[in-house]
Amino acid sequence: MSLLLEAGRAAPAAAEPASKPRAGLLARLGNPLLAIIFPLGVLAIWHFFTYGQKYSLIPPPSEVAVALYDLTFGGIFDDAFSRTLHVHLLASLSRVYGGFAIAAAVAIPLGLLIGRVAVVRRVLDPTLQVLRPIPVTAWLPLAMIMFGLGPRSAFFLVCLGAFYPILVNTIFGVRSVDPRLFEAASMLGCQDTAQFYRVVLPASLPAIFTGLRLGLGFAWVVIVVGEMTGVQTGLGAIIMEARQLSRTEIVICGMIVIGIAGFISDRLVMLLGKRLLRWSPNFA
Amino acid sequence: MPDTPNPILELRGVSKQFELQGQRVEALRDAHLRVHKGEFVCLIGASGCGKSTLLRIVAGFESPTVGEALMWGMPIAGPGPERGMVFQDYGLFPWLTVRGNIAFGPQSRGRPAAEVKDTVERFISLVGLQRFADAYPHQLSGGMKQRVAIARVLANDAEVVLMDEPFGALDAMTRERLQDELLEIWQRTGLTVLFVTHSIEEAIFLADRIVVMSPSPGRIESETAVLLPRPRDVVAADFNDMRGRLSQQLHSHHGRKAA
Ligand SMILES: Nc1ncnc2c1ncn2[C@@H]1O[C@H](COP(=O)(O)OP(=O)(O)OP(=O)(O)O)[C@@H](O)[C@H]1O
Ligand SMILES: [Mg+2]
């Protein structure tokens, strides 16, 4: 009897998600509206200062829009840039995700080891801490010597850029597992190695995920730098080339595409996180 | 309690010292305690008198600096499923549902899947959480979390249940309900319970025997058998007598040292 009473009393808390859409309707309509005010304003100011100006160095938004169309579908200018966006986008995507995947494949296991095994931590941590403040861009000359001019250097830089956020967050995740959970596991009969799989791994998953998200964001930042020297394809390469030809509208197109691609890829990771980490109040 | 042979738990001259910023803290000094199978023992005393320390030594999370902690006459070497702990802050695994949390122990001990499933369902209904079986800890109320913590320990065949102020964070109504349920489970299953509380009333309501502890250094001051018939009536005269006596005992050393 009493059980039912309490269960009934607590039910609204568990049923909360069901009532959310109704309350959130205004917010759901309002949020995109609010989010669009600022860019529209910027666009207006941009347009106002550049449109019809004879010697403006910055093209007006309408010109950029036309260039973006031509870059994507062609049929307007029929120059070297026309209808090449998919080639560059694919090239950059493959480097970003390839480099990111390798970085994750190394950084996650390494982070778990450093976080969990004191010896590994003592051997590797100081070195990694000293290497960490070196900006990825500072690696560029060395990367070009080691990997030559070209896409392999870009790949390496992306890898490096994504590596540290993933590593640092993984270590943090492992180190900050509530000690109470180890006690709980061991009094339930789960010891040593089993604890690693049944406690450490799941408990540090949210932090690892945060690291992945930051790492992917970094990969997008670094890709442009990586592609700016001696690479034929890629969004960084297109920006560089357009700059040399003073095609500023193409430069801006490249920036916009990177922004959108980075945003979408971040959303995808977030979505995956929400699926996998439903249990975590921070992700659900 | 008569000193029959073979206590399930026994502390023999247990002392525990901690090093705290270069200073030595004597958390427990020369504690002797025998607990028999099926007994419900409450530990009560001012803050810092070593109640949690004593419980954690029995759980195997800490080892005594001096003396011995025994279960069935064998030294306690570390935590184990035969001694289940119910933490005040629950200690549930946030990534597991109610089901998953209760299944954790049996799974860890390699029980076959079908048996685990049966056990889990049995204990979910024992604590009345059928409707919340697939909820995650952060979706539960405090009382429900505490039920999961209790079920998790019982589902793992614990012989001894160690509870450190398990109901301390709950509102009075939920606490009373859980006390009733705990007593019912205890009577039904023949568990041995070692229960830490700050509340004299809770101790008298639950315990066969109350162990009064005092601080600086933490030690066992006295033991009192509670002979009132069950179910106990908190407003009965003899209940009140006992409350008065215990309160006096507790305050006699509260006066000396601030709690
Ligand atoms: N891990 C530790 N390191 C250092 N000192 C500790 C540790 N655990 C407990 N102590 C000290 O031991 C003494 C007893 O602590 P304990 O937690 O057992 O008290 P308690 O009776 O449970 O108190 P409360 O009722 O407040 O929970 C305290 O002085 C405390 O500071
Ligand atoms: Mg305590």
Whether residues A89 and A41 fall in one domain: no
Q: Are residues A98 and A238 in the same domain?
A: yes
Q: Quick one: A142 and A77 in the same domain?
A: yes
Q: What is the pLDDT of residues A119-130, one digit of tens each?
A: 999 999 999 999
pLDDT at A271 over 80: yes
Q: Are residues A186 and A264 in the same domain?
A: yes
Say yes or no to pLDDT of A12 above 80.
Answer: no
Kindly provide the residue ranges of all beta strands, DSSP E only, lying in A83-200, ordered along the sequence: none
CB of B18 closer than 6 angstroms to any ligand 1 atom: yes
Long-range contacts of A51-58 (CB under 8 A, 24+ apart): A57/A248, A58/A248
**Apex CA A99: angle with CA A95 and CA A104, to 5°?**
150
Tell whether A32 and A85 lie within a shared domain. Answer: no
Same domain membership, residue A43 and residue A86 = no
Chain B residues in contact with A181 (beta carbon < 8 A) = 91, 93
Q: pLDDT tens digits, residue range A176-223?
A: 999 999 999 999 999 989 999 999 999 999 999 999 999 999 999 998
CA of B37 to the centre of ligand 1 (A): 27
- Spatial CA neighbour of B208 closest among B188, B186, B189, B185: B186
Angle at A38 between CA A33 and CA A39, to 5 degrees: 95
How much is the mean pLDDT over chain A? 87
Query: What predicted TM-score, i.e. pTM, was given to this entire model?
Result: 0.86
Rounded (10°) angle between helices A201-226 and A140-147: 80
Domain membership flag for residue A110? yes
What are the tens digits of pLDDT across the range A122-176?
A: 999 999 999 999 998 899 889 889 998 888 888 999 999 999 999 999 999 999 9
Measured CA distances, B241 to B19, B45, B200, B203, B238 (Å): 41, 18, 12, 14, 5
A189/B105 touch (CB, cutoff 8 Å), yes or no:
yes
Domain with A112 in it: what CATH number? 1.10.3720.10
Q: Give the whole-angstrom CA distance, residue B44 versus residue A243.
A: 78
Domains and CATH numbers, chain B: 1-82+160-168+197-259 (3.40.50.300)
Are A184 and B60 an interchain contact pair (Cβ–Cβ within 8 Å)? no
Task: For chain A, say whether B196 makes contact (Cβ under 8 Å).
Answer: no
pLDDT at B4: 59
Nearest Cα of chain B lies from the Cα of A213 at a distance, in angstroms, of 20
Tokens 């109640």 belong to which residue? B51
pLDDT at B70: 97
The answer to the question of residue A7 being in a domain is: yes
| Nearest ligand to the C-alpha atom of residue B43 | 1
Does A80 map to a domain? yes
Confidence of residue B158 (pLDDT cuts 50, 70, 90): very high
Q: How confident is the model at residue A26 (pLDDT cuts 50, 70, 90)?
A: low
Mean pLDDT in residue range B205-232: 94
| Residue A158 and residue A24 share a domain | no
ipTM of the complex: 0.91
| pLDDT tens digit sequence for A31-68 | 888 889 999 999 999 999 999 888 888 999 999 999 99
Set of chain A residues whose Cβ sits within 8 Å of the Cβ of B156? 188-189
| Contacts with B153 from chain A: Cβ below 8 Å | 187-188
B85 CA distance to ligand 1 centroid (A)? 17
A165 DSSP 8-state letter: H
Is the residue at A62 inside a domain?
no
User: Do A35 and A168 share a domain, yes or no?
Assistant: no
pLDDT of residue B254: 54
Which residue did the predictor score with more confidence, A211 or A30? A211
Note the pLDDT of residue A52: 86
- In a domain, residue A55? The reply is no
Position A65 in a domain: no
Mind listing the pLDDT tens digit for each residue in B86-140? 998 999 999 999 999 999 999 999 999 999 999 999 999 988 899 999 999 999 9
Query: How do residues A74-100 score in pLDDT, each as one tens digit?
Result: 999 989 999 999 999 999 999 999 999
Q: Is A230 within a domain?
A: yes
Whether A7 and A127 map to the same domain: the answer is no
Instruction: Measure the CA–CA gap between A156 and A137, rounded to whole angstroms.
Output: 11
Nearest CA to ligand 1 atom 2: B18
- Per the structure, the count of domains in chain A is 2
Q: A31 and A167 in one domain?
A: no
In this structure, the answer to whether residues A87 and A204 fall within a common structural domain is yes
CB A171, CB A115: distance < 8 Å: yes
Range of the domain at A225: 73-276
Evaluate whether A224 touches A235 at the Cβ level (below 8 Å). yes
Tell me the pLDDT band of A24, cut-offs 50, 70 and 90.
low
**Mean pLDDT, rounded, for A248-275:** 93
Integer Cα distance of B73 and A132 in angstroms: 55
**Residue A66 maps to a domain:** no
Helical pair A25-50 and A61-73, crossing angle rounded to 10 deg = 110
Q: Which pLDDT belongs to residue B258?
A: 44
Per the CB < 8 Å rule, is B95 touching A202? yes
Q: Which residue has the higher pLDDT, B72 or B250?
A: B72
The whole-number pLDDT of residue B111 equals 95
What per-residue confidence (pLDDT) applies to A6? 37
The answer to whether residue B14 scores a pLDDT higher than 80 is yes
Strand B23-35's sheet: what is its strand order? B23-35, B9-20, B66-71, B74-75
Question: How many angstroms away from the CA of B149 is the closest CA of chain A?
Answer: 10
A266 shares a domain with A226: yes
pLDDT value at position B139?
A: 94
Report the pLDDT value the prediction gives residue A18, as an integer from 0 to 100.
41
- Give the model's pLDDT for residue A8: 35
Which of B56, B88, B95, B147 is best to mutate for the A interface (most A CBs within 10 A)?
B95
